[in-house]
């Protein structure tokens, strides 16, 4: 089976305090961190044991917090990037951690989904961090939440990054009619795909690869069809992918999150992202 696995452990702490994030400046206890470390290590061991199963796997770590400040996430990325049956391993990160360890990654399989948070980091340092990945030819995208207070920073970052680094903008959807026509024009110049992200997709009963070829795994092995749907469809460690995978039409009225709607069938995303969907790298022509 060719499958994509999103993994989220118990980590819920971050070194940033973005006002739009519910997990900003959370502090996990040592007990929680130890639990998260064990969960990540158990998952990596499970992936390793799939080498002769016939599965080709892509893995995306999207913790509720910043993973790369913790050694076990860095070690997990390195190990997974060198496994022959792992096509891709990526992580969502603010890129604040030191990056010397990235020289141990396999750049053919490792990738980064980098989120830029204006006001949380010095612009020059963030650009420098991105430059280190660029020099190592490790694929990455850079994105930002499109709040109006960040517009000048978004404009600066687009100019500062290499032209061939795709920069995405997440539409701010907490307020209706938040953007003016001029705002949309500006954000579309930065991210030509902004209009696709600004939409919510009617999804009830519609086909999606989630639950069939895409799986959302909690730290203890529980698997959900997607993070928006709370129904548990199995346990990765007890049932395996073979015991979980089947076609499952969406049970949600709408899908408003990139890591969800990107897997809907009948949408224009596959030709745009190809095999770079996990790290959100678009092919802009």
Residue whose tokens read 């470390």: 37
Position 174 scores a pLDDT of 86
* Four-CA torsion 209, 213, 219, 220, nearest 10 degrees: 110
Residue at 189 is within a domain: yes
Contacts of residue 150, defined as CB under 8 A and 6 or more positions apart, other chains included, come to 118, 144
Residue at 283 is within a domain: no
Position 14 scores a pLDDT of 72
Domain around 26: 2-276
CB 208 within 8 A of CB 249: yes
Residue at 94 is within a domain: yes
Position 246 scores a pLDDT of 95
Residue at 285 is within a domain: no
Residue at 136 is within a domain: yes
| Tens of pLDDT, residues 229-280 | 989 999 999 999 999 999 999 999 999 999 999 999 999 999 999 999 999 9
Residue at 40 is within a domain: yes
Position 119 scores a pLDDT of 80
CB 94 within 8 A of CB 16: yes
The two structure tokens encoding residue 204: 């009830």
| Tens of pLDDT, residues 162-176 | 999 999 999 998 888
The CATH code of the domain that includes 94 is: 3.20.20.70
For the chain, residues with pLDDT lower than 70 are 16, 18-25, 285
Residue at 282 is within a domain: no
The total number of structural domains that make up the chain: 1
Residue at 281 is within a domain: no
Query: 36-68 burial by CB neighbour count: b if 16+ within 10 A, else e?
Result: bbebbebbbebbeebeeeebebbbbbbbbbbbb
Distance CA 238, CA 242 (A): 11
Strands, DSSP E only, in the chain? 2-8, 56-61, 86-93, 110-115, 140-145, 167-170, 201-202, 214-218, 222-226, 229-235, 254-255
Query: 17-33 burial by CB neighbour count: b if 16+ within 10 A, else e?
Result: ebeebebbeeebeeebb
Helices (H) and strands (E) in the chain, counts: 9, 11
The two structure tokens encoding residue 9: 């452990």
């Amino acid at each position: 089976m060719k499958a994509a696995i999103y993994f989220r452990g118990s980590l819920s702490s971050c070194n940033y305090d973005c006002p739009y994030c519910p997990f900003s400046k959370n502090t996990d206890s040592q007990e929680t961190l130890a639990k998260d470390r064990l969960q990540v290590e158990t998952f990596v061991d499970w992936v390793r044991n799939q080498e002769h199963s016939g599965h080709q796997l892509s893995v995306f770590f999207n913790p509720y917090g910043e993973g790369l400040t913790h050694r076990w996430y860095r070690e997990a990325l390195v190990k997974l990037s060198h496994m022959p049956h792992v096509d891709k391993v990526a992580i969502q990160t603010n890129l604040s951690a030191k990056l010397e360890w990235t020289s141990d990654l396999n750049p053919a399989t490792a990738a980064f989904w980098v989120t830029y948070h204006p006001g949380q980091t010095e612009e020059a340092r963030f650009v420098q961090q991105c430059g280190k990945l660029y020099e190592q030819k490790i694929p990455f995208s850079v994105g930002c939440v499109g709040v109006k207070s960040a517009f000048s920073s978004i404009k600066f970052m687009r100019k500062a990054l290499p032209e061939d680094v795709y920069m995405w903008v997440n539409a701010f959807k907490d307020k209706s009619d938040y953007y003016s026509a001029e705002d949309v024009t500006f954000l579309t110049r930065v991210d030509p795909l902004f209009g696709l992200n600004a939409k919510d997709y009617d999804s009830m009963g519609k086909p999606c690869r989630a639950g069939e070829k895409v799986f959302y795994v909690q730290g203890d092995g529980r698997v959900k069809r997607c993070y928006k749907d709370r129904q548990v469809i199995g346990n990765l460690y007890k049932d395996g992918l073979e015991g979980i995978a089947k076609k499952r039409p969406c049970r949600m009225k709408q899908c408003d999150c990139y890591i969800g709607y990107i897997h809907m069938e009948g949408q224009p995303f596959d030709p745009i992202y190809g095999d770079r969907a996990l790290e959100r790298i678009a092919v802009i022509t």
